[in-house]
Amino acid sequence: MFDSLSEVEPLDLNFEQYKTESRSVDSFDCGNVELNDFLCTEEVGKYEKELLGRTWLVFYKGVLVAYYTISNGSLRIEYLKCHRGFSNAGEYHIDTIPSLIVGRLAVDKKWQYKGIGRTIMAKIAAQAYESSETAGLRLIVVQAKNDAINFYEKLGFIPVFETSKEKKRIKNRHTRTMFFDLLALDDI
Ligand SMILES: CC(C)(COP(=O)(O)OP(=O)(O)OC[C@H]1O[C@@H](n2cnc3c(N)ncnc32)[C@H](O)[C@@H]1OP(=O)(O)O)[C@@H](O)C(=O)NCCC(=O)NCCS
């Protein structure tokens, strides 16, 4: 799941919440223009101002190596209907499951495949689990880009259920909704 050998010592990573006066982020390049632009234009600041997402910068020995943006959200239960853990969700008279949404996750190209993405997701999961003690929170949800689906699968994320109609409609899709059930951390 979240533990594995990594080239970058997890304890050497520093997490700083994005602030308009944050250190320069212009040189950040994860290989995806959209993700780069979010951080390097005024978009990130707008998200902060409108309370739509909180962005965290991740530094390794003073160098910006990654960032991610999280917000609160939910996932409709019909997307979970084939998953054992939610077979009795109907009993609770709820339409959605409270979720933490990882809207963006990006590791700089020079730092990919060194365990940074895994360490970040482990931290997000641990914090989500902790906050579930004060307000209900069951899932971490990501909109995984096609290229990143295997990365999330390695961490225990599962693609949501889709009807055949949905599958057809989104044949040429570039992303897939995936979730991680925080109850899996109960035994750890
Ligand atoms: C996808 C991304 C976040 C992964 O971060 P990372 O720091 O490179 O990943 P890690 O080194 O922690 O990898 C953890 C495991 O996933 C694997 N992995 C990492 N990226 C992968 C990918 N794109 N496809 C398949 N497996 C991948 C690693 O090999 C490693 O496997 P192992 O434990 O068996 O050795 C990063 O590559 C990235 O920012 N990519 C560009 C932007 C992007 O696609 N973001 C995701 C948006 S949904």
Residue 117 within any structural domain of the chain: yes
Q: Mean pLDDT over residues 73-90, rounded?
A: 87
> Sheet holding 175-181: strands in order across?
13-17, 54-60, 63-76, 96-107, 139-145, 175-181, 158-159
Nearest-atom number in ligand 1 for the CA of 35 is: 42
Residue 79 within any structural domain of the chain: yes
Residue 65 pLDDT > 90: yes
Segments forming the whole domain that contains residue 76? 10-187
pLDDT-derived band at 11 (thresholds 50, 70, 90) equals very high
Of 42-51, 81-90, 115-124, 126-135, which range is least confident? Answer: 81-90
Residue nearest to atom 21 of ligand 1 (CA): 151
Residue 5 within any structural domain of the chain: no
Residue 137 within any structural domain of the chain: yes
Residue nearest to atom 5 of ligand 1 (CA): 117
Residue 1 within any structural domain of the chain: no
- pLDDT computed for residue 172 by the predictor: 67
Residue 133 within any structural domain of the chain: yes
Residue 13 CA, ligand 1 centroid: distance in Å: 17
The pTM of the full predicted model, rounded to 2 decimals, is 0.93
Residue 139 CA, ligand 1 centroid: distance in Å: 20
Residue 68 within any structural domain of the chain: yes
Residue 139, domain CATH: 3.40.630.30
Phi, psi of 40 (to 5 degrees): -95, 0
Residue 134 CA, ligand 1 centroid: distance in Å: 31
* In the chain, % of residues over pLDDT 70: 95
Ligand 1 pocket residue status of 144, Cβ below 6 Å: yes
Into how many domains does the chain fold?
1
pLDDT-derived band at 169 (thresholds 50, 70, 90) equals low
Ligand 1: which of 67, 112, 141 to mutate, judged by most atoms within 8 Å of the beta carbon?
112
Residue 118 CA, ligand 1 centroid: distance in Å: 8
Residue 4 within any structural domain of the chain: no
